[in-house]
């Protein structure tokens, strides 16, 4: 089944002529990124050369994808939007709520029982509003999108930060919060700051133990977790065309870890091969004459420094495997230096669990190359020393891998094959062997390795690498093992060396599947009634947030001053809290419980200035809210890094936090705060962060004259009677200021729909 064929035909119609017109109007050759962005300008948006990193621009994406954890809040908001059917093709994918514990069969039964209420809600809303539904165990959202929906030259948004995975098939795919998805599903323009473009030139060709994953692991070390903020990473060069489609998707997927808006590769023969192998020959036929349209213009490739804001060179022929971590995805170690780093930093060398899967690395090629390392170990008389856990990316990958004997090789090595779901990557892992809180190392093919993310233990040191390196380190049982140079002792006492991994990019016999897991929505769902039990702990109807009261913020207490990294995992944890993603009141009980208090270096322990006692962050926020007070959150750099989860913005809004004041924001989170009617501010002078005391009362003035580009004033009222005042900046444009005044973007959207 080919999805969206008529849509693709419509987009491709007169594509070269459209690009000619854009070039003439802008007056420059076009990068691939610009080609797709400018052909997706919203109706009525002026065609001109927009200023990168400055101008806000309205776009019309072609489709929306949602995973089940974020879809709940997105669909609850859609129900409040005033629409009765989605305006663009949209899908829901049930991949986040399945906990990995025993095996695929048993875990799926438990998930279907425990989440029945949520799954039914998602399916009912999908039927009512015309949304495609991918049932539990169908696969991980981004792998399923790559197999079914991604197409060159298209544009989509998804309620997950790793939506850029589709860039592997030359699609602009951007992770957003649920409110953004509602805009698009409701037929409204979607706003984005015109991104800068980072060009990454790939030369040479991968060989040996190096894999596509190592490209992005190396790049993360170059750019850091905030180096790609408000930028799109566009790959080009001879090396780009040598990579498989799923390998390119892996690289684009993990671009989220450097803060990039999205990442994209040019269309190549490898792209066409993958489209054809996944049953989309019709798309290949349509795209075959548009190859130039889905690549940067020759003038750009000839002089990239003139057209990209930054150019980075990576020689694939010289690339060695990387292992990144722990606790941050940009701490990048070439494997030749890892052993020294383990010794220097006292990382636990005993590697306890190797995990393969996630939306980043769970393709057929990933599974086959990893299995080849196991085959070699078996032939050499080596046993796997660490536990192995496998999460196939989709039912199609799993079914084909079983047919070809790949999964059986994992199982013969003692691996547990889990459901086609996110599992341990997002904290959905019941890991019993860390109850004693011992220091341990795990190695994954995932994308993130924040503290406590995978198993909830602060003593787990998680490292990220390619699937084949995961297997090699699992065989050795040592983090310090380098398969490129080191030998192992087999069961016969012989010194043996693992040969290089190998594997097919695509299955020789083609992909196969019995039931991919897709359920088409009803043609007419108007008769569907959405039931939410009043006493449900999982789902809760959303009440609109109150509009701005027209006043400045005066003398509100500090809730928490956060020290160090504060990701969305710190603000709104996943794991056991995923079950409350459709219930704002319940999930608000995890607000900022992982953030470190700058005054005592503890988590979930903040001062109640009224009593002088310390209490949990959500409890203090609720106490202040009950008294009719708000509160202020202060934090450091790249606040809100990581997931697109808008709960991290909705929870403080719900608990009456008046403003978030930080040194800098991650892109998605700043947008989410704005969408929910929150005040997101940055220090003009980052040293002003140091002036804030834990018992301060804080005022923010200038809101009555709130305007784009105009700073506000923050005043600290200290308990000793002194004050400090300084400027705080914002990036709100006029439309976003109207969201703030209305109480949320959804409030403004509903008013517009009702008016029309």
Q: What are phi and psi of 170, to 5 degrees?
A: 65, 40
Burial annotation 284-294 (CB, 10 A radius, 16+ → b, else e): bebbeebeebb
Please identify which of the residues 68, 107, 124, 160 carries the catalytic annotation.
160
Catalytic (active site) residue 647: no
What are residue 725's DSSP bridge partners? 715
- 6 annotated active-site: no
Cα 263–chain centre separation: 12
> Measured between alpha carbons, how far is residue 567 from residues 111, 445, 591, 620 in Å?
27, 20, 12, 21
User: Is residue 645 annotated as a catalytic residue, yes or no?
Assistant: yes
Is residue 611 within 8 Å of residue 576, measured between CB atoms? Answer: no
Identify the three-state secondary structure at position 438: coil
Helix, strand, or coil (residue 182):
helix
- SS3 category, 115: coil
User: Measured between alpha carbons, how far is 54 from 472 in angstroms, rounded to an integer?
Assistant: 46
What span, in angstroms and rounded, lies between the C-alpha atoms of 725 and 188?
40
Helix 734-742 crosses helix 667-675 at what angle (to 10 degrees)? 50
Catalytic site includes residue 95: yes
- Kindly report the backbone phi and psi dihedral angles of residue 67, in degrees, each rounded to the nearest multiple of 5, phi listed first: -90, 160
Kindly give, in sequence order, each residue whose CB lies less than 8 Å from that of residue 612, ignoring residues fewer than 6 positions away.
none
> Which segments within 524-650 are labelled E, that is strand?
553-561, 606-608, 613-615, 631-634
Question: Which of these is catalytic: 95, 180, 297, 688?
Answer: 95
Give the integer Cα–Cα distance in Å for 233 and 33: 9
Helix axis angle, 245-253 to 212-223, nearest 10°: 20
**Beta-carbon count within 10 A of 214 CB:** 27
Out of 63, 123, 448, 538, the active site residue is 448
Q: Among the options 63, 83, 96, 431, which is catalytic?
A: 96
**510 class by beta-carbon count within 10 Å (0-12 exposed, 13-18 middle, 19+ buried):** exposed
3-class secondary structure for 51-75?
Answer: CCCCCEEEECCCEEEEEHHHHHHHH
**Separation of alpha carbons 492 and 477, rounded Å:** 18
d(CA 449, CA 465): 11
The residue among 93, 511, 62, 501 whose CA lies nearest residue 274 is 511
CA atoms of 664 and 683, how far apart (whole Å): 8
Cite the beta strand spans of 46-136 per DSSP E: 56-59, 63-67, 90-93, 132-134
Determine the Cα–Cα distance for residues 270 and 545; give it in Å rounded to an integer.
48
Of the residues 123, 645, 667, 717, only one is catalytic, namely: 645
Q: Is the dihedral of CA 534, 535, 536, 542 positive or negative?
A: positive
For the chain, the distance separating the N- and C-terminal CA atoms, rounded to the nearest angstrom, is 36
CA 493 to chain centre: 45
160 is catalytic: yes
Hey, how many other C-beta atoms are within 10 angstroms of the C-beta on 526?
9
Query: Of the residues 643, 644, 699, 744, which is catalytic?
Result: 643
* DSSP code per residue over 640-690: TBS---THHHHHHHHTTEEEEEES-B-HHHHHHHHHTT-EEEEESSGGGGG
Distances (CA, A) of 210 to 243, 269, 448: 12, 21, 20
Closest CA to 682 of 647, 649, 618, 633: 633
Which residue numbers are catalytic? 95-96, 160, 448, 643, 645
């Amino acid at each position: 089944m080919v999805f969206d064929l008529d849509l693709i035909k419509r987009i491709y119609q007169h594509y070269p002529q459209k690009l000619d017109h854009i070039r003439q109007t802008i007056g420059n050759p076009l990068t691939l990124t610009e080609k797709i962005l400018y052909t997706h300008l919203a109706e009525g948006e002026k065609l001109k050369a927009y200023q990168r990193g400055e101008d806000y621009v309205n776009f019309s994406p072609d489709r929306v994808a949602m995973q089940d954890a974020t879809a709940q809040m997105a669909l609850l908001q859609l129900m409040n939007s005033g629409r009765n059917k989605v305006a663009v093709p949209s899908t829901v994918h049930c991949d986040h709520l399945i906990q990995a514990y025993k095996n695929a069969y048993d875990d799926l039964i438990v998930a279907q029982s425990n989440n029945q209420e949520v799954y039914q809600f998602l399916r009912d809303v999908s039927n009512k509003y015309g949304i495609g539904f991918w049932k539990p165990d169908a696969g991980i959202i981004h792998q399923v999108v790559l197999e079914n929906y991604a197409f060159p030259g298209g544009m989509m948004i998804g309620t997950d930060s790793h939506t850029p995975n589709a860039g592997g098939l030359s699609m602009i795919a951007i992770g957003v919060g649920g409110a953004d998805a509602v805009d698009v599903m409701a037929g409204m323009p979607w706003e984005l700051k015109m991104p800068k473009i980072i060009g990454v030139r790939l030369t040479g060709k991968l060989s040996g133990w190096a894999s596509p994953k190592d490209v992005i692991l190396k790049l993360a070390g170059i750019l850091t977790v905030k180096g790609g903020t408000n930028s799109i990473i566009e790959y080009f060069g001879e090396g780009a065309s040598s990579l498989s489609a799923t390998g390119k998707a892996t690289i684009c997927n993990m671009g989220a870890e450097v803060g990039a808006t999205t990442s994209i590769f040019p269309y190549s023969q490898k792209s066409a091969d993958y489209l054809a192998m996944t049953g989309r020959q019709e798309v290949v036929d349509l795209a075959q004459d548009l190859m130039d349209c889905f690549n940067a213009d020759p003038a750009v490739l000839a002089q990239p420094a003139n057209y990209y804001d930054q150019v980075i060179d990576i020689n694939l022929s010289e690339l060695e495997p990387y292992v990144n971590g722990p606790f941050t995805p940009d701490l990048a170690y070439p494997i030749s230096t890892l052993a020294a780093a383990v010794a220097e930093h006292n990382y636990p060398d005993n590697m306890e669990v190797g995990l393969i899967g996630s939306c980043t690395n769970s393709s057929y090629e990933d599974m086959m190359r990893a299995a080849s390392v196991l085959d070699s170990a078996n032939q050499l008389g080596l046993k796997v020393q660490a536990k192995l856990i496998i999460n196939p990316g989709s039912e199609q990958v799993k079914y084909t891998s079983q047919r070809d004997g790949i999964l059986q090789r994992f199982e013969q090595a003692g691996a547990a094959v889990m459901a086609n779901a996110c599992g341990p990557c997002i904290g959905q892992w019941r890991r019993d062997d860390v109850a004693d809180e011992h220091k341990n190392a795990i190695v994954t093919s995932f994308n993130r390795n924040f503290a406590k993310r995978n198993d909830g233990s602060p003593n787990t040191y998680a490292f990220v690498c390619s699937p084949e390196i995961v297997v090699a380190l699992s065989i050795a049982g040592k983090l310090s093992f380098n398969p490129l140079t080191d030998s192992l002792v087999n069961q016969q006492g012989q010194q043996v060396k693992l040969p290089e991994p190998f594997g097919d990019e695509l299955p020789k016999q083609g992909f196969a599947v019995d039931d991919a897991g897709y359920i088409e929505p009803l043609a007419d769902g108007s008769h569907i009634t959405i039931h939410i039990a009043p006493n449900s702990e999982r789902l809760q109807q959303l009440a609109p947030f109150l509009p701005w009261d027209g006043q400045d913020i005066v003398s509100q207490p500090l809730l928490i001053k956060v020290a160090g990294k504060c990701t969305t995992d710190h603000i709104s944890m996943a794991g056991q809290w995923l079950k409350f993603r459709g219930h704002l009141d319940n999930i608000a009980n995890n607000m900022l419980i992982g953030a470190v208090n700058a005054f005592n270096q503890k988590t979930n322990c903040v001062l109640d200035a009224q009593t002088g006692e310390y209490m949990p962050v959500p409890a203090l926020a609720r106490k202040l809210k009950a008294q009719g007070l708000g509160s202020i959150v202060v934090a450091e750099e790249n606040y809100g890094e990581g997931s697109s989860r808008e709960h991290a913005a909705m929870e403080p809004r719900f608990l009456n936090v008046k403003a978030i004041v930080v040194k800098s924001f991650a892109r998605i989170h700043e947008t989410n705060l704005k969408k929910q009617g929150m005040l997101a501010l940055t220090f003009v002078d980052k040293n002003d962060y140091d002036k804030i005391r834990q018992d301060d009362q804080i005022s923010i003035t200038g809101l009555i004259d709130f305007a784009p580009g105009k700073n506000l004033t923050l005043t600290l009222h200290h308990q000793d009677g002194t004050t400090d005042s300084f400027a705080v900046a914002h990036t709100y444009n006029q439309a976003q200021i109207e969201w703030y005044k209305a109480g949320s973007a959804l409030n403004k959207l509903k008013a517009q729909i009702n008016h029309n």
